[in-house]
A and B are shown apart, each in its own frame.
Chain A
Amino acid sequence: MNGFFDIPSDLQHSYQGLIGLHLREALLPVLAGLLLALPLAQLCVRFRWLYPPVLGATTILYAVPSLAFFVVLIDYTGQTELTVMIPLAVYSLVVLVPAIVDGVRSVPQETLAAATAMGFGPVRRYLQVQLPIAVPAIIAGLRVATVSSISLVSVGTLIGNQGALGNLLADAQKYDRPELAVNSVITTAVLAILCDALLVLLRVVLTPWMPNGTRRRPKPSTRQKLPAPQDVTR
């Protein structure tokens, strides 16, 4: 274990500092992606013709390798954290839009009719009826987006040490200290698992009407996937 937590000084961060930086670089984009995805998904639900082109565009963006995305952005935003965050926000958006659309679409017609009959306007109906019922699906999407975001931050190390914990990987090679790479991989994985667990907890808190640990009865039309496979195109 000697040297395991000896962070080389060229990273200009302590171990805790790297963790904080990593979380900031990974979670802010997910938040941005969510804020963008909510209105976009609602538009896709309202105007059905919009959904296929949106899916197509996001699929293409999702297929762009993160490293290439980073490098292309260097021209515009330099070798900064922002350069790492923008692609991650895009990837989060791609995962979240289908998740939200599926979740909102799975609200039963009679529930919507009941809300309309009670005098709910479209905005209030969306916020108070459709979104809460879609929470499990949205959280499932958030789990995938968060975990992959935390994992992808590490690639930022290739564009000039912008990868937080990933920078340990470059140093592991530079200084021939494999334990730094072990540290990086384990810490990143633990962070991802912890964030995932927090999101599961959030779902349990937000959906008190659902029995814990179970999901909605799977109907053929609305299958809800457990830790939502990253099904970007459907």
Chain B
Amino acid sequence: MNVLNFVNAFFSDSAHWHGYDGIPQRLLEHIQYSVLALALAAAIGLPVGLLTGHTGRGGNALAFIATAARALPSFGLLVLIVIVMGFGLLPVMIPLVILAVPPILVTTYEAVRTVDPSPVDAARGMGMHESRILFQVELPVALPLILSGLRSAAIQIVSTATIAAYVSLGGLGRYIVDGLYQRNYEKVVGGATLVAVLALVTLALFWAVGRLAVSPGVRRR
């Protein structure tokens, strides 16, 4: 099992623990890219998904947009944008956001749309405004599913943010890309391990947010 040997060698090398190419620094960069991309994608996906889900209109258009966005190859898009725009943070953000918007958008739409209609009707019958219905009735009930959409988007972003290194930015992808060109597999495996661990931490984080934010009455199972 030489993969495990690689992992061991990578993490026991003290040179990997400090400096601008140290694990803490690269981890921080990776988290910064990921959080920024997720925030941008959520800023686009959540409002549109909530609104369309609430009105129940535009489902087909959404499905089409989501499919089209998913069909765009992240890596190819990145190379293309870098060729056109040059290096920088923005060229990396565009493919990441395009990658993350569809799951957020579609899950949010589905989550709000599939809320049990009886409490919604009751709220409407009590004279609640549409906005209050959306935020006080539909949103709490739809929250678990909305979070699951955000979660899968987040994991994809964390995993894909490694491509930032290919266009000379930092992040954990540095180890993978540098290791590839230096034929240093120890580095590649170490970087991949770090990314996988970060993804698992992201999962745990979303689980915790779900425990805190989802009301006990809604909690499934």
Binding site for B on A (CB under 8 A): 59-60, 62-69, 71-72, 75, 143-144, 147-148, 150-152, 154-155, 158-159, 165-166, 169, 172-173, 178, 181-182, 184-185, 188-190, 192-193, 196, 213, 218, 220, 223, 225-227, 229-234
Tell whether, in the assembled complex, residue A229 and residue B155 are in contact, meaning their CB atoms are under 8 Å apart.
no
Tell whether, in the assembled complex, residue B71 and residue A189 are in contact, meaning their CB atoms are under 8 Å apart.
yes
Across the interface, which residues of B come within 8 angstroms of A69, CB to CB? 192
Across the interface, which residues of A come within 8 angstroms of B155, CB to CB? 59, 62-63, 232
Total contacting residues, chain B, CB less than 8 A: 58
Shortest Cβ-Cβ A-B pairs, 8 listed: A63-B199, A68-B192, A192-B71, A151-B73, A218-B114, A229-B103, A65-B162, A181-B80
Residue of A147, A155, A226 with most chain B CB atoms under a 10 A cut-off: A226
Across the interface, which residues of B come within 8 angstroms of A166, CB to CB? 73, 75-76
B110 interfacial by beta-carbon distance below 8 Å: yes
A67-B162, A185-B73 given; 4 more Cβ-contact pairs under 8 Å:
A62-B155, A63-B155, A193-B68, A227-B67
Cα distance, A184 to B110, chains bound together (Å): 32
Cα distance, A96 to B185, chains bound together (Å): 30
B34 interfacial by beta-carbon distance below 8 Å: no
Cα distance, A230 to B156, chains bound together (Å): 9
Tell whether, in the assembled complex, residue B185 and residue A64 are in contact, meaning their CB atoms are under 8 Å apart.
no
Known: A148-B70, A172-B83, A181-B83. A67 touches B110 (CB 8 A): no
Residue of A59, A60, A71 with most chain B CB atoms under a 10 A cut-off: A71
Tell whether, in the assembled complex, residue B180 and residue A71 are in contact, meaning their CB atoms are under 8 Å apart.
yes
Interface string of B168-183 (1 = CB under 8 A from A): 0000010011011000
Tell whether, in the assembled complex, residue A184 and residue B76 are in contact, meaning their CB atoms are under 8 Å apart.
yes
By beta carbon, the residue of chain B nearest A144 is: B70
Binding site for A on B (CB under 8 A): 2-3, 59-60, 63, 66-68, 70-77, 79-80, 83-84, 102-103, 106-107, 109-110, 113-114, 116, 145, 148-149, 151-152, 155-156, 158-160, 162-163, 166, 173, 176-177, 179-180, 185, 188-189, 191-192, 195-196, 198-200, 203
Across the interface, which residues of A come within 8 angstroms of B60, CB to CB? 213
Please name 25 pairs of A and B residues whose Cβ atoms are closer than 8 Å in the assembled complex, sorted by A. Answer: A59-B203, A62-B199, A67-B166, A67-B173, A71-B188, A72-B192, A147-B70, A151-B70, A159-B180, A172-B83, A173-B79, A181-B80, A185-B72, A185-B80, A193-B68, A196-B67, A223-B145, A225-B107, A226-B109, A227-B63, A227-B67, A229-B102, A231-B103, A233-B152, A233-B203
- The A interface, classified by DSSP as helix, strand, loop or mixed, is helix
Tell whether, in the assembled complex, residue A231 and residue B148 are in contact, meaning their CB atoms are under 8 Å apart.
yes
By beta carbon, the residue of chain B nearest A170 is: B79
Distance between B139 CB and nearest chain A CB, rounded to angstroms: 16
Cα distance, A62 to B191, chains bound together (Å): 15
Tell whether, in the assembled complex, residue B72 and residue A151 are in contact, meaning their CB atoms are under 8 Å apart.
yes
Distance between B76 CB and nearest chain A CB, rounded to angstroms: 4
Cα distance, A144 to B156, chains bound together (Å): 13
Of the candidates A71, A152, A233, the one whose C-beta lies within 8 Å of that of B176 is A71
Known: A72-B188, A181-B83. A226 touches B162 (CB 8 A): no
Across the interface, which residues of B come within 8 angstroms of A65, CB to CB? 159-160, 162, 173, 176, 192, 195
Tell whether, in the assembled complex, residue B63 and residue A178 are in contact, meaning their CB atoms are under 8 Å apart.
no
By beta carbon, the residue of chain B nearest A157 is: B75
Tell whether, in the assembled complex, residue B156 and residue A72 are in contact, meaning their CB atoms are under 8 Å apart.
no
Tell whether, in the assembled complex, residue A71 and residue B185 are in contact, meaning their CB atoms are under 8 Å apart.
yes
